[in-house]
Amino acid sequence: MVTRRDFVRTVGVGAAGALSTSWISARGREDSVWSLVEPGLQAQAPGPIIPLSSNENPMGPGQVVLDAITSAFGPAGATPGRYSSATNDLRDALAKSLGVTPANITFGCGSTQILRTSTHVFTARDKALVGTIPTYEECAGYADMLGHPVRAVSLDRNFRADLDRLLDASRGAGLVFYCNPNNPVATYVGARETKEFIARVHRVSPETTILVDEAYFEYVTHPDHQSMIPLAIEDPRIVVARTFSKAYGIAGLRLGYAVGHPDAIRKMNAWDNASGTSSLNVLALHAGIAAIGQGPAFVDAERARNAAARDFTIKWFADRGMRSTESHANFIFTNIGVPARQFRDGCAAKGVRVGRDFPPFEQAWCRISIGTMDEMKRAVAVFGEVLGKPGAIVAA
Amino acid sequence: MSVTRRELFSRLRSGGLLDEAPLNGLALAARGHEEDSALSFWGQAGGRGRGAGAASQAAAPSIKLSSNENPMGPGRAVLNAITGRFGETMRYPFNVSPGDAQLIETIAAQHKAKPENVALGAGSQEILKVAVWGYTSPARHLVTATPTFENATGTARRMGHPVVEVKVDGQFRLDLEGMLANARGAGLIFVNNPNNPTATVHSGAAIRDFVERVRRISPDSVILIDEAYHEYVTDPAYETAIPIALNTPNVFVARTFSKAYGMAGMRIGYAIGMKDTVRPLARLALPFNISVLGTIAALTALNDPKHMAAERDRNTQARDFTQKALDALGCRSTVSHTNFLFTNVGRSAAAFRTACAAQGIQVGRDFPPFEGSHARISIGTMEEMQKAVAVFRDVLAPANVGGGERA
């Protein structure tokens, strides 16, 4: 039996060109495949769990989304027996809300499918994938499976993408995976810098596609925050990935999408769209339409809720001498000073589940997803016990 | 036996996915998909027009007999179970309990297998797709039938991998001898049993014999036995090939919750076979591809065998009624062991489809090489079939035959 540990190797913060096998060691599947191979991987504590391991929205979707799922059953409950044709309704609703055309959009069974399709279409044996280390690992893991080269670029000292080194690595690359905010380190590069970076890449490497993963877009609180969608719809070498799994609170329904120039979208569709469409379940389609219909107020409220719980948690750690990176996501990346595994196991035994290992930082840093304020207050009490830090709740 | 990642990848490479260059907009070969979403997507890609690829629609509420769906849906217990899990829609499928791991365990247990023998797909279509990705290559062809479910064919063509299509026999059954004759050196052999769209089935003995003979002449070829319509079969000689798959290298069975389980909209299927055959499929399939609600729906359905027996009986009655009514019109159907009929309507499927659509009945698309004479008609509820038969009588009445070239 393969264990995940076989693949986990510690690597130094290397220069561009680190081996792909080390980059993907932590894997990009948020534990799915491995939870099947290693059922014991997720240790369960007795009693209720506070899940702070997968960057989910603890509030779940809005009531209108749940109502839409109920409606999707149909009056006699027979509708899920049918193949759904609601994909176009979702595409129309999304296009309208984003100010793009339906031809700018394709869907995935989660943005995972978008990442895989992009990797398949835009990399090759002689066209590398480029990304930071660490980052969300799906593209690298898939490129590795394809036998396509992967160039990993270490972060800067503030755990932000090192744009100069990323640029160097991008020459001749097939695809740059640009996760912003970057999972697992939570940092964000402002819109002006990102646009400059994209322009620079295309000056030195005109054929390279840049996949901007905006999975955590809705949680960003940076003053210079903009989507790259307006760029993407004008330039077939830029694709934006989005998901309903994070702020919209329907990770369980599996719905993501890409926005790009019709030529890029067509290329992706030619590889996997018909199957991509068929991988979407009918409840997700209707949930997605309802989620969009909630308008910006829903996302604004969720951003504010998350920011408050995030600030509370970061402050709790800071007050005890443990620094976190500057988070613009619904998780924090924190220097706990002990191996992530040790912290994770200790927390799990007390009913709090935190993030997996993220090499090369797994010896001292941990990713902690942000739950509700109530969950975070209970969680920091556990963190205090596990880390031997006094004063569970000192500030709200 | 321990399988290292390297071994796995080398297996995948030898299977062919890794020989794949990035594709540049190859058109999707003729629709390999049942669902309207795919059809309407391509319709849109061709210039808007929702459902442009589908049959023209009547103004009146229509009865959909075009996609081999279960008209009853998943059943009340399943829907109640889904509603009961609304509190977990924000969680990934691996963070809920029961979750996808439990679904795999339950499926495995039902077949006296282990979890390592099962891979989940977003519908069995994903299983077929990744099987073609992993097991065919420019040097290792796909052997399939014509007509049959075109998903594997379309995927292989998109990749530029060779495809050998073997026409069904005189009884519209898979020509297993013909497929065997093309098996040598094949990457993947696609056996749809029962076969969509011809509705026919092969016995357990025939499948066992086929597998043994393929294994003798081409042991490296992988045999995919797609049993999407398994639950609807009423032929006593039929047997599932799952026991064969669990004991024979390079054989696996695909199953789906889209047909008799009534959950086409939920997108759940799986592959089952020996670990070394199934593992590459699990790696190529999307991670966490089954929704939280789909997982609980499938688990609930698997624990309700009585519902399945009732569904088989319901379908059999409506199918028999429809077949007899068509017989009375002089339109012969093949021997169906599915939830659809493949019927000689004595005119082109397009003409029949258009005439039926004008009266609110949607029937199946063209299935070359029989699109000049045969239509595929999915079985709805008895009430739907009574209404449909009235339309068929009108459309197929001798006075309306036109050319009247009925065979």
- CATH 3.40.640.10 positions along chain A are 64-295
Average pLDDT over all residues of chain B: 86
**Cα-only R_g, chain A:** 20
CATH no., domain B5-25+90-304: 3.40.640.10
Which residues make Cβ contacts (< 8 Å) with residue A327, sequence separation at least 6? A181, A186, A187, A310, A314, A333
pLDDT tens column, A118-165: 999 999 999 999 999 999 999 999 999 999 999 999 999 999 999 999
Interface of A with B in 317-376 (CB under 8 A): none
- What band does A81 get if pLDDT is binned at 50, 70 and 90? confident
Query: Stretch A199-210: mean pLDDT, rounded?
Result: 98
Interface of B with A in 27-86 (CB under 8 A): 27-28, 31-38, 40-42, 44-45, 50-51, 64, 67, 69-76, 79, 82-83, 86
Nearest Cβ partner for B2 among A1, A82, A144: A1
Does B351 reach chain A within 8 Å, measured CB to CB? no
Q: Phi first, then psi: give them for residue A228, nearest 5 degrees.
A: -90, 10
Query: Stretch B274-282: mean pLDDT, rounded?
Result: 96
- CATH 3.90.1150.10 positions along chain A are 43-60+296-387
- What band does A83 get if pLDDT is binned at 50, 70 and 90? confident
Query: Stretch A189-217: mean pLDDT, rounded?
Result: 98
**Domain A43-60+296-387 grouped into CATH 3.90.1150.10:** yes
Q: Are strands A365-369 and B118-121 parallel, antiparallel or unpaired?
A: unpaired
Query: Stretch A33-57: mean pLDDT, rounded?
Result: 62
Identify the pLDDT of residue A73. Answer: 86
Is the pLDDT confidence value at A3 over 70? no
Write the ipTM.
0.85
Is the pLDDT confidence value at A86 over 60? yes
Interface of B with A in 287-306 (CB under 8 A): 287-294, 297
Does A306 reach chain B within 8 Å, measured CB to CB? no
**Domain B44-73+306-400 grouped into CATH 3.90.1300.10:** no
Identify the pLDDT of residue A214. Answer: 98
Residue with tokens 């893991």: A141
Indicate the class that CATH gives domain A64-295.
alpha beta
Identify the pLDDT of residue A270. Answer: 86
Q: Please indicate whether residue B268 or residue A14 has the higher confidence score (pLDDT).
A: B268
CA–CA min distance B63, chain A (Å)? 12
Q: Are B254 and B128 in contact (CB under 8 A)?
A: yes
Identify the pLDDT of residue B171. Answer: 96
Is the pLDDT confidence value at A223 over 80? yes
Task: Compute how many other C-beta atoms are within 10 angstroms of the C-beta atom of residue B331.
Answer: 23
pLDDT tens column, A348-383: 999 999 999 999 999 999 999 999 999 999 999 999
Parse chain B into domains and list their residue ranges: 5-25+90-304, 44-73+306-400
**Number of CB pairs, chain A paired with chain B, less than 8 A apart:** 274
Interface of A with B in 48-107 (CB under 8 A): 51, 53-54, 56-61, 65-66, 69-70, 73-74, 76-88, 91, 102-103
Identify the pLDDT of residue A85. Answer: 80
Identify the pLDDT of residue B77. Answer: 86
Pick among A3, A32, A305 to test the B interface (most B CBs inside 10 A): A32
Is the pLDDT confidence value at A27 over 70? no
pLDDT tens column, B107-156: 999 999 999 999 999 999 999 999 999 999 999 999 999 999 999 999 99
- What band does A76 get if pLDDT is binned at 50, 70 and 90? confident
